[in-house]
Chain A
Amino acid sequence: MRTRRAVTDRLFWGFCFLAFALIAAPSVSMLISVAHQAAPAVGWSLFSQTTKGIGIQNAILGTLLLLLGVLIVAGTIGVAAGVYLAEFASGRSEKVLRFFSEVLAGMPSIVIGYIGYITLVVQFHWGYSLLAAVIALSVLVMPYIVKTTEVALRQVPSVLREGAAGLGMPRYSTLGRILVPTALPAITSGLIVALAISTGELAPLLFTAGFSDHNPRLQLFHQQVPYLTNVIFTDLALPGKRPHATSAAAALVSLVILIVLIVAGRIVAGRARRNTARMSL
């Protein structure tokens, strides 16, 4: 009896390990192969020169600038909409907002890019520009931020709301001083994942950002923005070993940014879990 149980136990854990390996192996092998292919291009010049030379400095800065823009635009609107859904919306307005948020979440990124091109780039005469690119990316990741913010706020124990109400605190103070700070770690980890998604997107940017061999400038309109995924995409199509290595190097840098964001998200989410666990409400 005992041995049979032990065997079942082993089998189960074996299966779980296999599943884990099936997930881990591709990402590890991808990382290794990207690093391997990028090796010839990795060096000081990669970071000190722009794509005009043999570096990708402009693309790295452009991607970071886009992330900053997404954080400001999608972060503000997404968190506000999430707060609205969790705390204020009721009945019809809640249903309508939730419906559109879900439609947006399912929208293919290339469609978002295309619509951004038609309206922002062409109709508004913004040209390929920072703002058009930031808005397209923001539209893409906003539903995610809305959802995590809403869930984070709903998970704040209702006894805290009642406690604040029982002290005669108005709703906005309760929200600003108690609910949002309590939910902040979870909201932050949602924002970080949204940034991670933005790092890897190409489709919406192809239609809105354009590209430039120069470093990006803090100019919202009529100034094309270089970014990493574009380098990955275009250099891979060029003939020769050098561009292929540069493409791989851009991919490697994207992965590093991604890993940094994910680790940061983990740390923040871990802190959130500890806080709520201690609350025991």
Chain B
Amino acid sequence: MSEQTTSAVTESQARRPEVTTVGPPVPAEMENPVFVVENLDFYYGSHQALRGVNMKIGRNEITALIGPSGCGKTTFLRCLNRLNDLIAGTRVRGRIDFAGKPIYDPSLAAIELRRRIGMVFQKPNPFPKSIYDNIAIAPKVNGMKVNMDDLVEECLTRAALWDEVKGKLKASAFSLSGGQQQRLCIARAIAVKPEVILMDEPASALDPLATIRIEDLMSELKKDYTIVVVTHNMQQAARVSDRTAFFNVDDSQGVRTGVLVEMGTTHQIFTSPTDQRTDDYITGRFG
């Protein structure tokens, strides 16, 4: 009997993804958060997609948002740069502070905000232009006074793509492989010198090798940027993130709404979650 219990526990432990984040572990308490989210509610028309989210996101950290489909993690991510503004009929309640200022303040231009908060999407979405122009277009439009050739090289180097494309910068971005396109999109995002990079399942459309390259890149980029990444892949969250936030679908009030169940250091979430739902999810009992 007792033997069985022990083996069950070991089995449960074995199912937990191993946490291998590079660099020193982050402290449990955050000193200087980039984002402070308070009581965030989000609606698509009359449907509430998020309820009462409170969260802090640490500077130069990688924060992973995990949870089952439909739990609102992507919606939450897109609240952070007000990209949901593009969808008609959406509504936000509550407060998000970025660098100490409320981002949903009407006096703050969403365009200005999005320059400071870059975004990488689920599927690579390079513009139908040359590799060079993909990087150069936003800095040009934004009137950045820089040497464009240098900037393009710098961004492509940082995105670990330079060596592969330096001989064909004028070629169409679509001539690249999916993984290369996604790294191009990361290079494009850092070209406008943002402070934060939001990533919405950046590797979900890529093969395992390309995925590893993106993850390495994220670890590299966190020296200079704050990264928030949505992922379906718990191993990925455990591998790259410093903190993990677990979202879940809550239907206790009769409607299916996304809630933040708990957030902590990735180590804590994956080894000793405080909420049973988190434990069930990361050990693969549902989701």
Contacts and interface: CB of A to CB of B under 8 A. Distances in A.
A167 interface: yes
Contact of B86 (A161, A169, A181, A182): A161
A162 B86 contact: yes
A162 B192 contact: no
A173 B128 contact: no
Contacts of A170: 111, 141
Given A168-B111, A170-B141, A162 B189 contact: no
A1 to B, nearest CB: 43
Contacts of B191: 167
Contact of A166 (B81, B112, B137): B81
A279 B174 contact: yes
Interface string B243-287: 000000000000000000000000000000000000000000000
Contact of B114 (A160, A166, A178): A166
Interface string B185-196: 100110110000
A119 interface: no
Q: Is the interface of A mostly helix, strand, loop or mixed?
A: helix
Nearest to B191: A167
Contacts of A178: 127-129, 137
B125 A160 contact: yes
Contacts, number: 78
A19 interface: no
A163 B125 contact: yes
Interface residues of B, number: 31
A179 to B, nearest CB: 10
Q: Residue among B141, B174, B185 with the most chain A CB within 10 A?
A: B141
A160 B138 CA distance: 13
Interface string B116-129: 10110101011111
A168 B83 contact: no
A273 interface: no
A203 B129 CA distance: 44
Given A278-B174, A279-B128, 11 more contacts: A161-B86, A162-B86, A165-B86, A166-B118, A166-B121, A167-B137, A167-B189, A168-B115, A169-B111, A177-B137, A178-B137
